[in-house]
């Protein structure tokens, strides 16, 4: 029997209507209202679409794309994703998956309801 490993995959995108940054730097933890563990886990698979308008950096999109070999509190993560879309009156597109030694879930944007719950026998 193959040993199960922790894995999360992401294919999420959100667009904004001119989200201004005065400092020019995005602090992922503050931007998404995440805890340190989640921030460190996803920071390398996040990217921003932006342009410069005079002294401000305008962020017009944000993507989380890729996979990580660990898992974190997906419920807390979903709260943060929903907060960002409500705060900016926009919606996420895409999905993310969660797999640990017991469960496997797929959450689809924009509501991030559970779309699939596969048992470990399916992997």
Instruction: Please give the residue that has the higher pLDDT: either 21 or 99.
Output: 99
CA gap 7, 26 in Å, rounded = 26
Domain that holds residue 110: 7-122
The percentage of residues in the chain with a pLDDT greater than 90, rounded to a whole number, is 55
Residue spans of alpha helices (H) in 1-123: 28-32, 36-42, 74-87
Q: What is the pLDDT of residue 123?
A: 36
Q: How far is CA 74 from the centre of its chain?
A: 10
CB contact set of 68 (below 8 Å; sequence gap of 6+) = 7, 8, 41, 42, 45
Tokens 């709260």 -> residue: 79
Is 86 a member of any domain? yes
Instruction: Please give the residue that has the higher pLDDT: either 2 or 54.
Output: 54
For residue range 7-48, list pLDDT tens digits in order: 999 999 998 876 676 666 778 898 889 999 999 999 999 998
Tell me the mean pLDDT in the region 59-77: 93
For residue range 102-122, list pLDDT tens digits in order: 889 999 999 998 886 654 444
Is 1 a member of any domain? no
Is 49 a member of any domain? yes
105: which 2 tokens? Answer: 């879930």
Number of domains in the chain: 1
Reported as half-sphere exposure (CB side, CA atoms, 13 A), residue 109 has a value of 22
């Amino acid at each position: 029997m193959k040993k199960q490993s922790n894995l999360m995959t992401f294919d999420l995108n959100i667009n904004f209507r001119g989200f201004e940054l005065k400092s020019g730097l995005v602090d992922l933890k503050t931007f998404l209202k995440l805890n340190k563990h989640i921030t460190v886990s996803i920071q390398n698979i996040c990217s921003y679409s932006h342009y410069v308008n005079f002294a401000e950096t305008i962020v017009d999109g944000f993507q989380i794309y890729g996979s990580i070999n660990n898992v974190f509190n997906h419920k807390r993560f979903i709260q943060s994703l929903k907060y960002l879309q409500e705060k900016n009156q926009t919606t996420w597109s895409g999905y993310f998956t969660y797999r640990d030694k017991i469960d496997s879930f797929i959450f689809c944007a924009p509501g991030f309801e559970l779309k699939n719950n596969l048992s470990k026998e399916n992997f």
